[in-house]
Amino acid sequence: MKLITSTLLLFSLCYLGFINTDSIASSTHLTSPSYLEAEQIAVELSKTLTLDLGQLIFQGELFSQPLSAWQFSSEFGFLGFVTALSKQHQVQQYQSVGNLIMLSGDYKHHSLLMHVERTGHEAYHGFLSVMPNQGQSFNANEAELFQQHLLNQQNAFFASKVPWLPPSVTLLMDIKSTSFQSQQIYLVPLEIERLRQEVVMNLTDLGWQKSSADNLGLSQWTKGSQQLHLHYSQQAEGTAIYVLAQDLTKEVYESTHE
């Protein structure tokens, strides 16, 4: 369920254009074993379901978990795709809403999610995401280990709190597309102007400098080689704030050493 919710959020936000999808699409193709294994699983599934696996649209971290996602499309073969589904064992759960099909499963210690949209009698397109299963499981007789695990998770959560945001902040989205760029969406139970004032005060106290001009509706802050781009959106529950964080030193280094 955690994977499904997280990945649906990623694709939904890409559709809405709320996050910087250009940086997602241009993510550095990492060569760690985790991503290579995910690619092997994606290729294997595409052969089983006769998918024309296309562009790698994301390879990075979602809520600190490695995630790879591809898009696929075809002008024919939808009925064959449905037939192939009944003969495979990688994807075990299906849900259909109108012309959309959501498929999920666990295979070789990885979670799979597919979003398929039928666009014609035989035409369809969609996304496939693969994420390693890194969660921990505990038996009924391992209560002490479970309590320690929760304590460690809590300590890590508080250690990762953003110092210039109020303590009441809730993290809604966390995407790390490269080693020098990340994107987050937070929800804060404050009115937009009050949050804006508090963020300005906190960033200024921490040594950040605000640019005199906004960039495409995003306020820009700089501290050394670090840059922040912020966007505020009033919601019924408070204010959502989108944060694009960049390290310009690492970006320049990696661009010149490819």
Are residues 113 and 26 located together in one domain of the fold? yes
Tell whether 21 and 119 lie within a shared domain.
yes
What is the predicted pLDDT for the residue at 136? Answer: 65
pLDDT at 138: 65
Task: Give domain status of residue 178, yes or no.
Answer: yes
Q: What is the pLDDT of residue 199?
A: 96
pLDDT over 90 at 206, yes or no: yes
Question: Where a domain ends, among 98, 132, 166?
Answer: 132
* 120 and 18 assigned to the same domain: yes
% of the chain exceeding 70 in pLDDT: 76
Calculated CA dihedral for residues 185, 39, 129, 245, nearest 10 degrees: 10
107 and 164 in a single domain? The answer is no
CA distance 57 to 73: 13
| pLDDT value, residue 168 | 87
Residues 97 and 31 in one domain: yes
| N-to-C CA span, the chain | 37
Query: Comparing 25 with 86, which gets the higher pLDDT?
Result: 86
What is the pTM assigned to this prediction? 0.60
- Residue 9 and residue 124 in one domain: yes
Both 75 and 174 in a single domain? no
Other beta carbons less than 10 A from residue 52's beta carbon: 12
Q: Rounded to whole angstroms, how far apart are CA atoms 11 and 154? A: 28
Q: Would 58 be classed as within a structural domain? A: yes
pLDDT digits 0-9 by tens, 36-62: 898 999 999 999 988 888 888 888 887
Claim to verify: residue 108 and residue 169 sit in the same structural domain: no
CATH number (domain holding residue 194): 3.30.310
Arithmetic mean of pLDDT, 183-199: 93
pLDDT, mean over the chain:
79
* 7 plus 124 within the same structural domain: yes
pLDDT of res. 251: 52
pLDDT value at residue 174: 84
* Residues 61 and 164 both lie in one domain: no
pLDDT band at 160 (very low <50, low <70, confident <90, very high): low
Q: Say if 200 falls within a structural domain.
A: yes
- In three-state form (DSSP H/G/I as H, E/B as E, the rest C), the secondary structure along the chain is CHHHHHHHHHHHHHHHCCCCHHHHHCCCCCCCHHHHHHHHHHHHHHHHCCCCEEEEEEEEEECCEEEEEEEEEECCCHHHHHHHHCCCCCCCEEEEECCEEEEEEEECCEEEEEEEEECCCCCEEEEEEEEECCCCCCCCCCHHHHHHHHHHHHHHHHHCCCCCCCCCCEEEEEEEEECCEEEEEEEECCCHHHHHHHHHHHHHHCCCEECCCCECCEEEEEECCEEEEEEEEEECCEEEEEEEEEEHHHHHHHHHCC
For residue 139, tell me if it sits in a domain. Answer: no
> Does 140 or 257 have the greater pLDDT score?
140
Question: Would you say residue 142 lies in a domain?
Answer: no
Q: Per-residue pLDDT averaged across 165-180, rounded?
A: 84
Q: Is residue 113 domain-shared with residue 79, that is, in the same domain?
A: yes
Average pLDDT over residues 77-93: 88
Residues 11 and 126 reside in one and the same domain: yes
- Write phi, then psi, for 92 (nearest 5 degrees): -115, -15
What domain range is 11 assigned to? 2-132
pLDDT digits (tens, 9 = 90+) for 207-250: 999 988 776 778 999 999 999 999 999 998 899 999 999 998 75
Distance of CA 40 to the CA centre of its chain: 20
Judged against a pLDDT cut of 50, whether residue 121 lies above it is answered with yes
Q: What angle do CA 100, 105, 107 make, to 5 degrees?
A: 140
Residue 133: pLDDT band (50, 70, 90) is: confident
User: Does residue 190 lie in a domain region?
Assistant: yes
How many separate domains does the chain show? Answer: 2
